[in-house]
């Protein structure tokens, strides 16, 4: 192991809060700004101008370092994208990163406050209606003992759901293990490492879960659905993820969510404006060379081959793109395994435009969980925009078409929808630079091959973005990893 790796690993551990005796506030070491004044200005290249790259570049700039951001596409923001066209009457929709929570999203909220951005409550998870086996159920019905008994939950589970709610049931089986995790960045050493070799479903079953609990907690295998795939991950992984949620004081199902008025792209646009000419668009990189003292990046700009040298590089691009880029010397075996095997999900955002909010008077809420892959979630967005026209938004499978989504909606919606004017699909799978969504759980028995290798630096190359944090929640993970990486580089010796 080289001295460079030892230094980087030490500083990464300090920034992640994994060493004893270090005081961190929101992931940033106290006194860092005072220490920065005594540090030498560093030259840093950030590759990727999504929210992670922009946030990291901003933090490095704010600490006095010389930063250049190279973005392959013609826009900043990555998977944070607000669209206005083809929507009428000033309506808009966040077709990428769509909400942030409170509590939670501490770093994101820091910028909302710092830049005085307008945050709105987003009631998309309030009073939800869920369609199960072709029938709609309200939240109240899903806490009714008779309904729960008909689903064949056992008495213990029924008591828990009646007391805590439908969405909190996982804690009945996960809860007793969660306090074993003392550090949210360390899933190992809690005395239950062997649980990486059994599925979450097997753990639930061992602890007495009913078939209904396995089904509705996403731990029953076999139907190919996202929930079933989640059930095929290890019990240790599932427990670790839930332990992080508990340590951050969050419920299993986050109801208090928010969005930025005018669209969440307002934050990435603000970062980009602060960075100014440091951001260079249309600059896909083709090669990386790294050594003991510098990193060289080769890229194209306006069709011309160019290169930049810097002391450090921060990679904030999709790993599926990064693994296709020439790197000299080659990635170590552990990092190459991550690049070759990490899996990201993708989905489409479905928008339905209507002349009127037709559902009002039909339903207590338009917040629907449909069970239909063409549009498996439905909720209203941009409701503060004046006028009668409305936008319903939801998520669908990656290859869904507008006609399929509209047909599906008219099939499962239990009321009139005659004022629907058009359907629009934003398919992220077709975006060449931001095609992936959140990182999928690691496969059964592989946690040690992915963690912490997925976010560890390689020499002078660091990593940030939604994939590079312990809980891969889009804008939350991106801003957390960006701050951690900026702090780690700032603390490094020249």
Cα–Cα distance for residue pair 236/396, rounded to 1 Å: 29
The predicted-structure confidence for 27-48, as pLDDT tens digits, reads as follows 444 444 444 445 789 999 999 9
Assign 471 a pLDDT band (cuts: 50, 70, 90). Answer: very high
Comparing 414 with 285, the larger pLDDT belongs to 285
Q: Residue 125: its pLDDT value, please?
A: 95
Q: Which residues have C-beta within 8 Å of that of residue 410, sequence separation ≥ 6? A: 417, 420
The predicted-structure confidence for 6-24, as pLDDT tens digits, reads as follows 334 334 433 443 333 333 3
The pTM for the full model equals 0.90
Are the beta carbons of 24 and 288 closer than 8 angstroms?
no
Are the beta carbons of 80 and 268 closer than 8 angstroms?
yes
Average pLDDT value for residue range 279-288: 98
Q: What is the mean pLDDT of the chain?
A: 90
For the ranges 109-123, 406-420, 479-493, which has the lowest average pLDDT?
A: 406-420
Percentage of residues in the chain having pLDDT higher than 90: 85
Assign 415 a pLDDT band (cuts: 50, 70, 90). Answer: confident
**Six token digits for residue 343:** 């899996």
Assign 220 a pLDDT band (cuts: 50, 70, 90). Answer: low
Q: Residue 3: its pLDDT value, please?
A: 36
Q: Residue 200: its pLDDT value, please?
A: 94
Assign 414 a pLDDT band (cuts: 50, 70, 90). Answer: confident
Percentage of residues in the chain having pLDDT higher than 70: 89
The predicted-structure confidence for 289-330, as pLDDT tens digits, reads as follows 999 999 999 999 998 999 999 999 999 999 999 999 999 999
SS (H, E, C) the chain: CCHHHHHHHHHHHHHHCCCCCCCEECCEECCHHHHHCCCCCCEEEEECCEHHHHHHHHHHHHCCCEEEEECCCCCCECCCCEECCCCCCCCCEECCCCCEECCCCHHHHHHHHHCCCCEEECHHHCCCEEEECCEEEECCHHHCHHHHHHCCCCHHHHHHHHHHCHHHCHHHHHHHHHCCCCCCCCCCCCCCHHHHHCEHHHHHHHCCCCHHHHHHCCCCCCCCCHHHHHHCCEHHHHHHHHHHHHHCCCCCCCCCEEEECCCCHHHHHHHHHHHHHHEECCCCEEEEEECCCCEEEEEEECCEEEEEEECEEEECCCHHHHCCCEEECCCCHHHHHHHHHCCECCCEEEEEEECCCCCECCECCCCEECCCCCCCEEEEECCCCCCCCEEEEEEECCCCCHHHHHHHHHHHCCCCCCCEEEEEEEEHHHCCCCCCCCECCCCCCCHHHHCCCCCCCECCEEECCHHHCCCCCHHHHHHHHHHHHHHHHHHCCC
Q: What residues form DSSP beta bridges with 132? A: 135
Q: Residue 16: its pLDDT value, please?
A: 42
Are the beta carbons of 55 and 479 closer than 8 angstroms?
yes
Q: Are strands 312-315 and 304-310 parallel, antiparallel or unpaired?
A: unpaired
The predicted-structure confidence for 141-185, as pLDDT tens digits, reads as follows 999 999 999 999 999 999 999 999 999 999 999 999 999 999 999
């Amino acid at each position: 192991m080289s001295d460079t790796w030892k230094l980087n690993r030490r500083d990464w551990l300090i920034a992640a809060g994994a060493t004893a005796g270090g005081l961190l506030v929101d992931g940033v070491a106290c006194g860092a700004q005072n220490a920065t004044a005594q540090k030498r200005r560093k030259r840093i290249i950030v590759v990727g101008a999504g929210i992670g790259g922009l946030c990291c570049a901003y933090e490095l700039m704010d600490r006095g370092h010389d930063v250049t951001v190279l973005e392959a596409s013609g826009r900043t923001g990555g998977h944070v994208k607000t669209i206005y066209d083809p929507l009428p009457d000033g309506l808009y929709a966040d077709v990428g990163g769509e909400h942030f929570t409170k509590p939670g999203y501490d770093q994101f909220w820091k910028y909302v406050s710092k830049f005085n951005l307008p945050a709105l409550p987003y009631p998309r998870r309030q009073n939800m209606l869920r369609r199960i086996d072709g029938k709609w159920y309200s939240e109240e019905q899903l806490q009714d003992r008779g309904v729960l008994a008909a689903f064949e939950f056992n008495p213990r589970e029924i008591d828990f759901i009646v007391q805590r709610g439908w969405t909190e049931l996982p804690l009945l089986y996960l809860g007793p293990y969660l306090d074993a995790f003392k550090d949210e960045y360390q899933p190992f050493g809690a005395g239950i490492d062997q649980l990486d070799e059994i599925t979450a479903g097997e753990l639930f079953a061992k602890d007495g879960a009913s078939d209904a609990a396995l089904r509705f907690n996403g731990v029953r295998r076999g139907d190919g659905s996202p929930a079933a795939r989640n059930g095929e991950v290890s019990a240790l992984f599932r427990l670790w993820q839930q332990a992080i949620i508990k340590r951050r004081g969050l419920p299993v199902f986050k109801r208090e969510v928010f969005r930025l008025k005018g669209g969440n792209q307002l934050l990435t646009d603000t970062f980009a404006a602060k960075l100014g000419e440091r951001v260079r668009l249309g600059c896909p990189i083709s090669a990386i060379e790294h050594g003991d003292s510098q990193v060289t990046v080769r890229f194209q700009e306006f069709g011309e081959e160019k290169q930049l040298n810097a002391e450090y590089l921060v990679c904030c691009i999709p790993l599926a793109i990064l693994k296709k880029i020439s790197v000299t010397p080659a990635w170590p075996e552990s990092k190459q395994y991550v690049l070759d095997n990490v899996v990201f999900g993708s989905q489409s955002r479905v928008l339905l435009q209507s002349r009127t909010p037709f559902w009002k008077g039909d339903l207590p809420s338009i917040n629907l969980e449909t069970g239909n892959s063409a549009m498996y979630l439905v909720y209203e967005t941009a409701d503060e925009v004046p006028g009668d026209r409305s936008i319903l938004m939801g998520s669908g499978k990656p290859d869904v078409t507008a006609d399929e989504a509209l047909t599906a909606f008219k099939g499962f919606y239990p009321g009139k929808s005659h004022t629907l004017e058009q359907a629009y699909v934003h398919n992220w799978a077709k975006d060449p630079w931001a095609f992936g969504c959140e990182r999928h759980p690691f496969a059964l028995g592989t946690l040690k091959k992915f963690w912490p290798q997925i976010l560890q630096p390689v020499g002078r190359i660091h990593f940030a973005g939604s994939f590079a944090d312990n809980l891969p929640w889009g804008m939350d993970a991106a801003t957390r990893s960006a701050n951690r990486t900026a702090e780690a580089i700032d603390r490094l010796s020249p």
